[in-house]
Copies of this chain bind each other. A is one copy, B any other.
Amino acid sequence: MTDLQELDKVINDRLEQNLNELAAFCAQPSISAQGKGMKKCASQAAEMLAARGFEVQILPTDGYPAVFGQRSGQTNATLLFYNHYDVQPPEPLELWESPPFEPTIRNGKMFARGVSDDKGHIACRLAAIDSFLAVEGELPCQIKFIIEGEEEIGSVNLAPVIKQYQDLLSADACIWEFGGVNDDGIPIQSAGLRGICYVELSVHTATRDAHSGLGGSIFPNAAWRLIWALSSLKSLDERILLPGFYDHVIPPSSRDLELLENLPDESIPWKRDYGLKNFLKDLAGGVELRQREVFEPTCTICGLTSGYQGPGSKTVLPAEAKAKVDFRLVPNQRPEEVLQQLRTHLDAEDFSDIQITCLGSNPPGRTDLDDPFLHLVVDTAKDVYGTPQLIAPLSGGSGPNHLFLNILNLPVATAGISYPGANIHAPNENIVIKHFLDGVRHTARIINRFAKIYA
């Protein structure tokens, strides 16, 4: 088999080249929520694969296309990388220290929108592949990529693609789009993802805004309708009030709790990084906080908008109000059930005037904690990080992993280049270049071991 030392040498030698390619990739905006730069970025991803000898196909969807690539190797064992080329909106722009689409290296970090989520991970996979091609001239196993363009808007069109191209995407295992280390530099395996049901609630009470002096007592107010409807969704003690919402929730197993026990306590860095006085429910930290973090479903208001929002006062009565609301779901909740519960609840509470638009959804998905591929990824970390990955039984985030778990029937595991200070989805998104190197080395070791074991 391949000499890991030789791979590492190539990885080090090619670092600048790979970072330059990553910077060029990040310089191309690809904001799926706003439809900016999507086509150009998909082409760029396709070219990056083609440059490594991958056969590339653009898979059309009802939204932005997915990029598929495959290259055969020394064995028929097939590893599938799932990634995405779209990024979050960069706003608020004024909080960026360097422009979001002008990648900048400072203090050992590269800053750019998407540099961690998820273009840096694509670059990481490619840099590992480069090392095999440089040392061996070929890949040790077959590798496939599916790089979608709508992860940041809820992978709304991915399911039909996965179903339609099931044969094309056939593989033995899947490496997920993200991964990385915690605050102490310890690599983490996320063995599952919560589900999500992301909705916009909107209400229109008139065809135009009114003067608040005229209408305040007698005209319906869209902002008030929205406030009252929202306040009916969750009580002050954080209990979500949709009838039936908790019916299918499976509590964590004793194995889950054991794994949570082994995870480091993040309460102090969280409090520091976010300037928090307290956590919800007065949780101090420890396994209770970690359990609540991931095994509790949520109803999060992500945005509110209505009426006058500028400086000073404007005496206006708004005709329209909107909220973005994100439900995170735990096993075995289903987003389509939550959507139905939401509609039923709002109607029952006399809020039929509140419109619901679903902006994206995924059910929760978990990899079997005994799956050998999961442990292959966990164990190969040791050679890079000095310790195997710690297994988080479920991650707080969401994604379409259920499609890979349940339709493609693949074990899914995480490995990557991120860390808690990466500011993903926020201003000053960044990667630590050392983490990038580590992630590439880990990815190379995963490929190497996978090719051997799954041959």
Contact = CB atoms under 8 A, between A and B. Distances in A.
Contacts of A207: 274-275
A109 B91 CA distance: 41
Interface stretch (A52-60, A255-263, A299-307): A299-307
A395 interface: yes
Given A230-B227, A236-B228, A308 B313 contact: no
B304 A306 contact: yes
B309 A219 contact: no
A211 interface: yes
B301 A217 contact: no
Interface string A212-243: 11111111110110111011001010100000
Contacts of A213: 194, 196, 328, 395-398
B218 A312 contact: no
B89 A300 contact: no
Contacts of A218: 279-281, 283, 289, 292-293
Interface residues of A, number: 94
Contacts of A281: 218
A305 B315 CA distance: 16
A3 to B, nearest CB: 39
B217 A313 contact: no
Contacts of A9: none
Contacts of A292: 217-218
Interface stretch (A131-139, A166-174, A316-324, A443-451): A316-324
Given A208-B275, A218-B289, A231-B228, A307 B313 contact: no
Given A217-B328, A314-B89, A426 B209 contact: yes
Contacts of A293: 214, 217-218
Contact of A425 (B211, B328, B397): B211
A455 interface: no
Interface in A154-171: 154
A52 to B, nearest CB: 31
Nearest to A319: B274
A245 to B, nearest CB: 14
Nearest to A206: B274
A198 B313 contact: yes
A311 interface: yes
A33 B326 contact: no
A326 to B, nearest CB: 5
A88 interface: yes
B280 A220 contact: yes
A108 interface: no
Interface in A170-192: none
15 contacts: A32-B312, A33-B310, A33-B311, A198-B315, A211-B396, A213-B397, A216-B300, A218-B280, A223-B304, A226-B304, A227-B231, A301-B307, A302-B317, A303-B318, A304-B305
Interface of A: 32-34, 88-89, 91, 152-154, 194, 196, 198, 200, 205-221, 223-224, 226-228, 230-231, 234, 236, 238, 270, 273-276, 278-281, 283, 289, 292-294, 296-319, 321-324, 326, 328, 350, 359-360, 395-398, 424-426
Given A214-B397, A217-B328, 10 more contacts: A33-B314, A211-B425, A216-B396, A219-B270, A223-B301, A228-B231, A302-B315, A303-B309, A313-B360, A314-B324
